[in-house]
Amino acid sequence: MNWFINGGILETKAGMLGDGGKMWLKCLEKVSGNSCKIHHLYYQYIGSMRIRKTWWRKLLVAWIVGWIAVSVWIFWYMSSQAFEKRKETLASMCDERARMLQDQFNVSMNHVQAMSILISTFHHGKNPSAIDQRTFARYTERTAFERPLTSGVAYAVRVLHSEREQFENQQGWTIKRMDTFEQSPVQKDDSVAEALEPSPIQEEYAPVIFAQDTVAHVVSLDMLSGTEDRQNVLRARESGKGVLTAPFRLLKTNRLGVILTFAVYKTDLPSNAMPSERIQATDGYIGGIFDIESLVEKLLQQLASKQTILVNVYDITNQSHPISMYGSNVSDDGLEHVSALNFGDPFRKHEMRCRFKQKPPWPWLAITTSIGILVIVLLIGYIFHATINRIAKVEDDCHKMEELKKRAEAADVAKSQFLATVSHEIRTPMNGVLGMLQMLMDTELDATQQDYVRTAQDSGKALVSLINEVLDQAKIESGKIELEAMQFDLRAIMDEVLALFSGKAHEKGVELAVYVSDGVPEMVIGDPGRFRQIITNLMGNSIKFTKKGHIFLTVHLVEEVMDSIDVETESSSRNTLSGLPVADGSRSWVGFKIFNPEGSSHTPSPSSSDLVNLIVSVEDTGEGIPLEAQPRVFTPFMQVDPSISRKYGGTGIGLSISKCLVGLMNGEIGFVSIPDIGSTFTFTAVFSNGCCNSNDSKPQKQRLKNQSNTMASRFQGMTALVVDPKPVRAKVARYQIQRLGIHVELVLDLNQGLSSISNENKAVNMVFVEQEVWDRDSSISALFICKLQKIDSGTKLFLLGNSLSSSRTNTATSGFYTPSVITKPLKASMLSASLQRAMGGNKGNPCNGEHPSLSLRNLLAGRKILIVDDNKVNLIVAAAALKKYGADVVCADSGQKAIKFCLSHLTNLMHASWISKCLKWMGLKLQG
């Protein structure tokens, strides 16, 4: 169930729903907080009990109903917000239009008021008057642009009844009644006004004497004879302000309009005069006619959004019966906004009402949002329901998995026990088979029989190797593999690996070489068997897939590589062992942690003087690894192609085992491979410095040191000359020769070699010439031999060749002197034997590697040896092997018999480990 809590269910669900499912699961985590909380609550309150489906259904229904209510509320809220925004927009537009209308009306009103002052000054203030009808008409026409909202201006003078007759005689017309003119307001021409009735007798009159041409028909009309006009005139002269009439149909145009009236006072009227004083000082009345419909139309034309809303202007002086001054009441939208209008007359009230022309659009944002939330909620409910059902299913599966886990663990234990038992039981008889085959090889056999026996031996060794690999893999999987800690000679391990693969290298014509840096200690402490196993696996793969060129094994200190990146392998074909291009080895360890700034934390913490951090590279010029197969190189039982196992053999677990062993040695492994060029595998390993630890394994250390000193004592102080144009190959030769205590000098060709030998200050004891240089020019080779014979300094000549037969053939044709041939790969023991043989040394010395059987015979001859083993086959093999070298062997198949025999006989008892080493020297291994 922990798997479910840690997200297994979410991963499974995402897999069922695909990419969309993953997106909705993220939404679930955001909306619900975290899906893991559901799992936590599940275990906290419910535990492992099954949930009744009806309870979950009720909870799911409540969840859906609640979120439906939330969706409805969200729809209502967003719709109301849209309505308020629409309402604010309408209010803003309506207020803007009302403000513009009011501002333009004030401009016209101020101009009309200014004309009242003008008339008071130039008409009543001068005698005679400076203004007549013609002057007034021209002035008002030219200044009409300053009054954009007025359709006409007229001036009515105040005439008392006593002055009427004189006034009428002076003007040449009689004062007409206004009320009879209002009964037929639409006039076709101005001459009709002459037929109107004279104004009735009253205290005073207000006949129009000056008028703009647009309203010239009102001249001679008495403004005080009209009911509405009389009230406005009286209010205007009492208040001193402009007053407005109620909306009425204008004469001639029949359009709704209003008249703005100002009183014209005498010039000496003070500003703070009383109403009675104003009445007495009144000289006349000036009025401006406003066409409201034209006024509003001009205003809307100035706005780009005039088509958006409908505008209505009302006179609301009578609140119960408002008078429409402009606009239509037809509208598709019930939303309305009212903006107040102030035209300067406190008695008259006006307002502007605005509406949108079209109905409001559908609130799609609110609709989609609420529906989207509802869909998400339904999906969450579905996921929640599916999750709960999955919980129950996973709980059942978990119990089944626990049972299967127990069975698998039991099967794994049984497998490990089976592998351990069967591998031991298989290896014991196989060692008996190999031992008997070796004994059979010592008998007289013809060529065909010997071939059969060798084939059987090879097959048996391959089977034992396969069993060992499978057993190692089983140990790795169970985590039971452990490393030993013992002192060993690393260079000796390299020689053993060379000896192991030299035969196959000769068969394929591949050059094989080893180089160990001088900085690597002679003795290190670690597991030599596992270290040899890693190198053997890498070298085995290189031998298997390399058909030409070389295989080069190098060992350096990590510090040396860090100081100089280009240590050994370079991509240039001029600086490789065989001259063929190789994969750049530096790329094989580019990702190692130890080469990064934080890589030091990867290595063990003890003092650096006690640790040896090695970097080992195996470079080849083989087939390379295809790019698509490189990611699975270290995968167990995986090979590049299924045909590989049929063609080359192997199980595909060698590199996997090597990677695990490298990890146990606190190292890393990597590779670089280029198809048809080759591969380079590199790994690091951490060992303890065996030279610093003088208390551990002193006998073994002293024995190995004595062997090395014995091998090098004969050649100490000698000088050798190596002739090789390839730096890498020459360095390998110098490394192996220097191990014998010989000083080595390098030259590129035979001419330089002749110069060095001819130098009297130098004593050259031996010359090593690369076979490639020797065969290049036979004349120079013959000249070189003649020069050596003339000097007669005892200098020995050796050829370094990959094939002994070809070297002998080529050297035999060079003349009367045939130099000694040393076959590669070079090893210190082989060089020592060859040099001793050429210089007349002891050929029976076991150090030369030529006759180890003579040394064993001298050691074992006449010795009485007791062999104890409970395996009859092992007893026979061991006894036969020891008797072969002259030992007197007694066998015992139990410990009790061995003790009895020891007590009753004087026996040269030999330590079991020493016997095992002797048998291993002969190619056998004692088991049991």
Q: What pLDDT, on a 0 to 100 scale, did the predictor assign at position 898? A: 81
Contact 314, 322 (CB under 8 A): yes
Helical H segments across 323-480, by residue range: 364-441, 447-478
Worst-scoring range by mean pLDDT, 513-522, 527-536, 759-768? 759-768
Query: What is the spatial distance between Cα 56 and Cα 49, in angstroms, rounded to a whole number?
Result: 14
Q: What pLDDT, on a 0 to 100 scale, did the predictor assign at position 157? A: 93
Residue 686's pLDDT band, with cuts at 50, 70 and 90, is very high
Nearest Cα neighbor of 863 from 887, 881, 885, 843 is 887
Q: What pLDDT, on a 0 to 100 scale, did the predictor assign at position 24? A: 45
Q: What pLDDT, on a 0 to 100 scale, did the predictor assign at position 568? A: 45
Taking 60 as the threshold, does the pLDDT of residue 58 lie above it?
Answer: yes
Q: Which residue has better confidence, 528 or 271?
A: 528
Contact 534, 584 (CB under 8 A): no
- Span 171-175, average pLDDT: 89
Query: In this structure, which amino acid lies at residue 189?
Result: D
290 CB-contact burial (10 Å; exposed 0-12 / middle 13-18 / buried 19+): buried
Tracing tokens 């080529």 back to the chain, one arrives at 810
Query: What is the spatial distance between Cα 424 and Cα 927, in angstroms, rounded to a whole number?
Result: 9
Residue 821's pLDDT band, with cuts at 50, 70 and 90, is confident
Taking 80 as the threshold, does the pLDDT of residue 202 lie above it?
Answer: yes
Three-state SS at 83: helix
Q: Which residue has better confidence, 75 or 597?
A: 75
Residue 420's pLDDT band, with cuts at 50, 70 and 90, is low
With b for 16 or more beta-carbon neighbours within 10 A and e for fewer, the 587-608 pattern comes to: bbbeebebbeeeeeeebeeeee
Strand partners, 722: 746, 768
201 CB-contact burial (10 Å; exposed 0-12 / middle 13-18 / buried 19+): exposed
Q: What pLDDT, on a 0 to 100 scale, did the predictor assign at position 8? A: 41
Query: What is the spatial distance between Cα 681 and Cα 595, in angstroms, rounded to a whole number?
Result: 16
Taking 60 as the threshold, does the pLDDT of residue 455 lie above it?
Answer: yes
> CA-based angle 229:234:235, to the nearest 5?
100
pLDDT more than 70, % of the chain: 78
pLDDT more than 90, % of the chain: 18
With b for 16 or more beta-carbon neighbours within 10 A and e for fewer, the 471-508 pattern comes to: bbbbbbeeeebeeeeebbbbbbbbbebbeebbeebbee
**DSSP summary character for residue 715:** T
Nearest Cα neighbor of 867 from 904, 925, 917, 911 is 911
- Residue 886 φ/ψ region, left for φ over 0, alpha for ψ in the -120 to 50 degree band, beta for the rest: left
Query: What is the spatial distance between Cα 302 and Cα 521, in angstroms, rounded to a whole number?
Result: 101
Nearest Cα neighbor of 106 from 11, 241, 9 is 241
Q: What pLDDT, on a 0 to 100 scale, did the predictor assign at position 482? A: 84
Taking 60 as the threshold, does the pLDDT of residue 17 lie above it?
Answer: no
Task: Say which residues have a Cβ less than 8 Å from residue 284's Cβ, sequence separation at least 6.
Answer: 119, 124, 155, 156, 157, 158, 206, 263, 264
Residue 645's pLDDT band, with cuts at 50, 70 and 90, is low
Q: Which residue has better confidence, 698 or 119?
A: 119
Q: What pLDDT, on a 0 to 100 scale, did the predictor assign at position 523? A: 92
Nearest Cα neighbor of 312 from 293, 298, 289 is 293
- Span 444-466, average pLDDT: 83
Cis geometry, peptide bond prior to residue 825 (ω within 30 degrees of 0): yes
Taking 60 as the threshold, does the pLDDT of residue 761 lie above it?
Answer: yes
Q: How far is CA 521 from CA 205, 217, 514, 699, 903, in A?
A: 139, 132, 16, 18, 46
Q: What pLDDT, on a 0 to 100 scale, did the predictor assign at position 817? A: 62
- The alpha carbons of the chain give a radius of gyration, in whole angstroms, of 61
Strand partners, 672: 680
Taking 60 as the threshold, does the pLDDT of residue 143 lie above it?
Answer: yes
- Span 890-917, average pLDDT: 66
Tracing tokens 């010439």 back to the chain, one arrives at 769
Q: Which residue has better confidence, 418 or 454?
A: 454
Q: What pLDDT, on a 0 to 100 scale, did the predictor assign at position 429? A: 82
Q: What pLDDT, on a 0 to 100 scale, did the predictor assign at position 156? A: 93
Taking 90 as the threshold, does the pLDDT of residue 554 lie above it?
Answer: yes
- Span 303-326, average pLDDT: 81
Q: Which residue has better confidence, 863 or 91?
A: 91
Q: Which residue has better confidence, 297 or 688?
A: 688
| Alpha carbon distance, N-terminus to C-terminus of the chain | 48
For 504, the token pair is: 């196959």
Taking 70 as the threshold, does the pLDDT of residue 737 lie above it?
Answer: yes
- Span 575-595, average pLDDT: 86
Contact 475, 533 (CB under 8 A): no
Q: What pLDDT, on a 0 to 100 scale, did the predictor assign at position 591? A: 83
Nearest Cα neighbor of 567 from 617, 510, 495 is 617
Three-state SS at 866: strand
Q: Which residue has better confidence, 671 or 52?
A: 671
Worst-scoring range by mean pLDDT, 53-67, 493-507, 599-613, 736-750? 599-613
Contact 894, 870 (CB under 8 A): yes
Worst-scoring range by mean pLDDT, 74-78, 384-388, 499-503, 703-707? 703-707
Taking 90 as the threshold, does the pLDDT of residue 539 lie above it?
Answer: yes
Q: Which residue has better confidence, 899 or 307?
A: 899
The number of beta carbons lying within 10 Å of the beta carbon of residue 525 is: 22
Q: How far is CA 493 from CA 259, 262, 498, 500, 698, in A?
A: 125, 128, 9, 11, 19
Nearest Cα neighbor of 490 from 835, 758, 739 is 739
Strands (E), 605-705: 611-620, 669-674, 678-689
pLDDT digits (tens, 9 = 90+) for 230-260: 888 888 888 888 898 888 877 667 778 888 9
875-884: Cβ within 8 A, 24+ apart? 876/432, 876/435, 876/436, 877/431, 877/432, 877/435, 877/436, 877/439, 877/924, 877/926, 878/435, 878/915, 878/919, 878/924, 878/926, 880/435, 880/439, 881/435, 881/438, 881/439, 881/919, 881/922, 881/924, 884/442
Taking 60 as the threshold, does the pLDDT of residue 105 lie above it?
Answer: yes
Q: Average pLDDT over the chain, rounded to whole? A: 78
Taking 80 as the threshold, does the pLDDT of residue 4 lie above it?
Answer: no
Worst-scoring range by mean pLDDT, 159-168, 388-397, 805-814? 805-814
Taking 90 as the threshold, does the pLDDT of residue 670 lie above it?
Answer: yes
Taking 70 as the threshold, does the pLDDT of residue 566 lie above it?
Answer: no
Taking 50 as the threshold, does the pLDDT of residue 462 lie above it?
Answer: yes
Worst-scoring range by mean pLDDT, 190-194, 296-300, 350-354? 190-194
Residue 208's pLDDT band, with cuts at 50, 70 and 90, is very high
Strand partners, 891: 867
Taking 50 as the threshold, does the pLDDT of residue 189 lie above it?
Answer: no
Taking 90 as the threshold, does the pLDDT of residue 489 lie above it?
Answer: yes
Worst-scoring range by mean pLDDT, 139-148, 487-496, 635-644? 635-644
Q: How far is CA 353 from CA 149, 309, 328, 418, 916, in A?
A: 20, 10, 10, 100, 118
- Span 97-111, average pLDDT: 87
Nearest Cα neighbor of 45 from 388, 382, 400 is 388
pLDDT digits (tens, 9 = 90+) for 589-636: 888 888 775 544 444 444 456 899 999 999 999 989 888 888 888 887
- Span 420-448, average pLDDT: 81
Worst-scoring range by mean pLDDT, 129-133, 235-239, 247-251, 775-779? 247-251
Worst-scoring range by mean pLDDT, 171-185, 709-723, 788-802? 171-185
pLDDT digits (tens, 9 = 90+) for 35-52: 445 445 544 444 444 445
